[in-house]
Amino acid sequence: MVNSDSPIKDPWQILEESIIYYYDRPLGTVAACDPNTAPLNYDQCFIRDFVPAALVFLIKGKTDIVRYFLVHTLKLQIKERQLDFLEPGRGLMPASFKVIHEEREQYLKADFGDHAIGRVTPVDSCLWWMFLLRAYVKATEEYSLAHTPEMQKGIRLIMELCLSARFDMYPTLLVPDGACMIDRRMGINGHPLEIQALFYNALRCAQELLLDNPENEKINQALNNRLTPLGVHLRHHYWLDLERLNIIYRYKGEEYGENVLNQFNIYSDSIPYADLSEWLPANGGYLVGNLGPSQLDCRFFSLGNLVAILSALVTQKQAEAILNTIEKKWNDLIGFMPMKICFPALKDRDWQLLTGCDPKNRPWSYHNGGNWPVLLWLLVAASLKHNRPEIAEKAIEIAAQRLPQDEWTEYYDGKNGRLVGKEARKYQTWTIAGFLLARELMDNSQCLSWISHN
């Protein structure tokens, strides 16, 4: 509920107050500064959460905090192979960290998911770190930072982790449930779109940042070999529009051989054709949420589709179709707050089986169809990249009307995003940073090149 008695604080001031310091130097931002709720792990700096704040700092010329963050989070990366299978894998970046003060000494304590709810693995952390490193280099033109031996090794280790041999036949990354922004069980284990779009973006970033030298030769060759088939696979097999829906509708099952049409043995009865044929706009389309053996998850996942636009994973025509879908299905995907993390929500037996009866992820709440203001900056960036400023302006206007009064809440509930999240934190840093970044991108469109690819 809106607290009319609370003074509305300036978002820039709140962002400044969220900064954490390491030996008196700014290092990152805490996840939230809600004075009325126990901090739990919201007093830590999450790599994923810091990205929009870091981009705001870069636009404002406050580059030191971003540089310091990149350098010190790299030191937390696992550099050596572990003999204990309970230890994080080589190349993994932590989900979060906090500054520990002991007498006159300070040190950084990293969390690799071993303290998180459900003990989820932060697969996306290293991919977001790559995204931010490239943005920093583009913004400052300080290529010398990326070219230091330490940074080159860090990039190589991330690529080795992502490109290692595995029990999989596809060019996509196989990951467990909860390995990304949706960090609870939501039926996205396997090859979820968000991870694949971030993986594709990380490969493109590594192409730009890795030096062409003997030390990087094998990794450069491996990522170049992976990038094209990954893009082809995602643009074709993950794409869904009315034309593609008609093809899938007529699939035959139990086909065998190399040249079959139904390569993943998708059974027609598993696809909600009636709903999709009615919901999909004639000029719309999007990348589905997941794909695997006999599995086609037709939910719309916002973050994956928007990152796919920024990274040029999708074609120009596909990007336009995604934005058409958002515009034509505004009430479903945006409603009263940009924007839904996924649509539609899991309900009834699906909710029970796929979330494990997670009460926080009940239908139209939190990750299960909730509205997340942080997604605003991605929506604005994707819209501006493809010359659709009207989408960006409308989304910012909606957010500006509610977020300050609702004290910069973490997420919203309800089918139309009208309710402040049942367990949402107030003064959520990435909500504030996402809003500020969206407005800055409107005024500084040249900064789009820091976070997008052609």
The mean predicted confidence, pLDDT, of the chain is: 94
In the beta sheet, which residues pair with residue 295?
Answer: 292
CA–CA distance, 436 with 419 (Å, rounded to integer):
22
Q: Which 8-state DSSP code applies to residue 272?
A: -
Report if residue 344 sits inside a domain: yes
CA–CA distance, 294 with 60 (Å, rounded to integer):
48
Which contiguous run of DSSP H or E holds residue 101? strand 96-102
| Entry pTM | 0.96
Report if residue 54 sits inside a domain: no
CA–CA distance, 235 with 229 (Å, rounded to integer):
10
Please report the pLDDT score of residue 2 as a whole number. Answer: 38
Please report the pLDDT score of residue 227 as a whole number. Answer: 98
Report if residue 10 sits inside a domain: no
Contact 113, 95 (CB under 8 A): yes
Report if residue 383 sits inside a domain: yes
Residues 6+ apart with CB under 8 A from 19: 26, 27, 28, 29, 65
pLDDT of the chain, 454 residues: tens digit per residue: 334 455 567 999 999 999 999 999 999 999 999 988 888 889 999 999 999 999 999 999 999 999 999 999 999 998 877 666 666 678 999 999 999 999 889 999 999 987 777 778 889 999 999 999 999 999 999 999 999 999 999 999 999 999 988 888 899 999 999 999 999 999 999 999 999 999 999 999 999 999 999 999 999 999 999 999 999 999 999 999 999 999 999 988 888 887 888 899 999 889 999 999 999 999 999 999 999 999 999 999 999 999 999 999 999 999 999 999 999 999 999 999 999 999 999 999 999 999 999 999 999 999 999 999 999 999 999 999 999 999 999 999 999 999 999 999 999 999 999 999 999 999 999 999 999 999 999 999 999 999 999 9
Report if residue 264 sits inside a domain: no
**What would the pLDDT profile of 177-190 be if each residue is shown by its tens digit?**
999 999 999 999 99
Cα 29 from chain centroid (whole Å)? 18
CA–CA distance, 305 with 309 (Å, rounded to integer):
6
Please report the pLDDT score of residue 307 as a whole number. Answer: 98
Number of domains into which the chain is organized: 1
Report if residue 187 sits inside a domain: no
Burial (CB count <10 Å: 0-12, 13-18, 19+), residue 445: middle
Residue 335's domain spans which residues? 329-454
Q: Helix-strand-coil percent breakdown of the chain, rounded to 5?
A: 50, 10, 40
Report if residue 371 sits inside a domain: yes
CA–CA distance, 135 with 181 (Å, rounded to integer):
20
Residues 6+ apart with CB under 8 A from 238: 193, 196, 287, 288, 291
Question: Greatest CA separation found in the chain?
Answer: 69
Contact 41, 104 (CB under 8 A): no
CA–CA distance, 314 with 285 (Å, rounded to integer):
11
CA–CA distance, 287 with 27 (Å, rounded to integer):
36
CA–CA distance, 28 with 156 (Å, rounded to integer):
24
CA–CA distance, 345 with 232 (Å, rounded to integer):
29
3-state DSSP assignment of residue 110: strand
Cα 156 from chain centroid (whole Å)? 22
CA distances from 444 to 124, 267, 389, 437 (A): 27, 47, 13, 10
Task: Provide the token pair at 234.
Answer: 């995602």
Amino acid at 79: K
Which segments within 389-432 are labelled E, that is strand? 412-413, 419-420
Report if residue 183 sits inside a domain: no
